[in-house]
């Protein structure tokens, strides 16, 4: 489909030296876009940039941590200076500092929120300013997580930031609609170094390292594939095929594609004249308890067949 090609477009992908970000950058370049590759690791950024160029694409490395406005503005300026414009901003960069609430320090909280939430805000703002000046629309793709949709044990900072990022997308889609700039949140799940460290997936680590494909139930029921499995969603959202898609949270991983619904009222009760604590207790037990929502990501058990002997 020609409307899925990105020839002539220019993208910035933050945190694209490794993992999911690298997969996004490579896929955008393969579809025809020039790419500004951002990472805090100069070697990783250089390797992604070189991989794009070796494949015949156009890429520029920009090494800097996202969060503050000068980095966001420099990334946009680099795209315009090197390639003449900016059409796509993918705010992928992030860090983890997982701890339970009572052990999480101010520094743990601030670093994760600064990188994910503030970094998404500053990069999206810089991109929106440039795209509005160009007057030809554009795509802003922000990155959420199942932790932000459902909560996750030990991830106060990360879950809060990722939930906020999805709220960004819904808000900015309204604000930027007249400028023909789409804003969507992706919720990717993939096999990464972090996934490999989860105890549930420990039995798979050696198999994946040896090049074995992930089992079908992992790809479908757990929505876990390789980073490359998530990249087509970014290409779609950056393309003209998705010019009417905005304000959505879309999950992808392995063989699974998900459209998340917006938060909605699950159940409603009324009390003439207002509520008392006693009336609330009665209404809860009689009507609302059955609608109570669970917290946390729920996954089916993982049953692996034994590895065949060599």
**pLDDT for res 200:** 82
pLDDT at 266: 93
pTM to 2 decimal places? 0.94
For 49-77, how does the pLDDT look when each residue is reduced to its tens digit (9 = 90+)? 999 999 999 999 999 999 999 999 999 99
pLDDT given for residue 306 in this prediction? 61
Sign of the torsion angle spanned by Cα atoms 106, 109, 110, 111: positive
Per-residue model confidence (pLDDT) at position 159: 97
Secondary structure of 136-161 as H, E, C letters: CCEEEEEECCHHHHHCCCCEHHHHHH
Domain boundaries 2-190+225-260, corresponding CATH code: 3.40.50.720
User: For residue 305, what pLDDT is reported?
Assistant: 66
Residue 187 and residue 258 in contact, taking contact as beta carbons nearer than 8 Å: yes
Decide: 92 and 14 in contact? Cβ < 8 Å: yes
Q: Which residues of 188-204 are buried (b: 16+ CB within 10 A; e: fewer)?
A: bbbbeeebeeeeebeeb
Active site residues: 145, 158, 162
What would the two tokens of residue 129 be?
């300013």
pLDDT for the residue 1: 62
Q: CA angle at residue 134 from 80 to 184, to 5 degrees? A: 90
How far is it, in rounded angstroms, from Cα 141 to Cα 143? 7
- Which pLDDT score, from 0 to 100, does residue 299 have? 82
Q: Per residue in 263-285, pLDDT tens?
A: 999 999 999 999 999 999 999 99
Task: At 239, give phi and psi (nearest 5°).
Answer: -95, 170
Q: Which residues contact 31 (CB under 8 A, 6 or more apart)?
A: 4, 5, 6, 235, 238, 239
Q: Are strands 256-260 and 249-253 parallel, antiparallel or unpaired?
A: antiparallel
> Which residue is associated with the tokens 């991989």?
51
Q: What is the pLDDT of residue 193?
A: 78
Please state, in angstroms and rounded to a whole number, the distance separating the CA atoms of residues 31 and 41. Answer: 25
The ranges of the chain with pLDDT < 70 are 1, 305-310
Q: Are 256 and 223 in contact (CB under 8 A)?
A: yes
């Amino acid at each position: 489909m020609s409307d899925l090609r990105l020839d002539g477009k220019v993208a910035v992908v933050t945190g694209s030296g490794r993992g999911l970000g690298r997969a996004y950058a490579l896929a955008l370049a393969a579809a025809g876009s020039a790419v500004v590759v951002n990472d805090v690791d100069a070697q990783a950024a250089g390797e992604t940039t070189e991989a794009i160029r070796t494949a015949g694409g156009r890429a520029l490395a920009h090494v800097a941590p996202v969060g503050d406005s000068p980095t966001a503005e420099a990334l946009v300026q680099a795209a315009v200076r090197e390639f003449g414009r900016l059409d796509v901003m993918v705010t992928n960069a992030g860090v983890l500092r997982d701890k339970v609430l009572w052990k999480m320090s101010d520094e743990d909280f601030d670093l994760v929120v600064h990188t994910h939430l503030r970094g998404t805000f500053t990069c999206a703002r810089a991109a929106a300013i440039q795209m509005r000046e160009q007057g030809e629309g554009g795509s802003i793709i922000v990155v959420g997580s199942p932790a932000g949709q459902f909560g996750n044990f030990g991830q106060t900072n990360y879950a809060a930031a990722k939930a906020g990022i999805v709220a960004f997308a819904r808000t900015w889609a309204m604000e930027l609609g007249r400028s023909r700039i789409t804003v969507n949140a992706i919720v990717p799940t993939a096999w990464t170094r972090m996934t490999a460290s989860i105890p549930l997936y420990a039995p798979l680590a050696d198999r994946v390292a040896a090049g074995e494909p992930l089992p079908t139930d992992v790809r479908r029921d757990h929505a876990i594939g390789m980073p490359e499995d998530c990249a087509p969603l970014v290409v779609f959202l950056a393309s003209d095929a998705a010019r009417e898609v905005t304000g959505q949270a879309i999950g992808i991983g392995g063989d699974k594609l998900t459209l998340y619904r917006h938060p909605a009222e699950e159940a409603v009760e009324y009390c003439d004249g207002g509520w008392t604590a006693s009336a609330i207790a009665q209404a809860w037990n009689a009507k609302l308890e059955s609608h109570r929502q669970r917290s946390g990501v729920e996954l089916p058990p993982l049953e692996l067949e034994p590895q065949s002997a060599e």
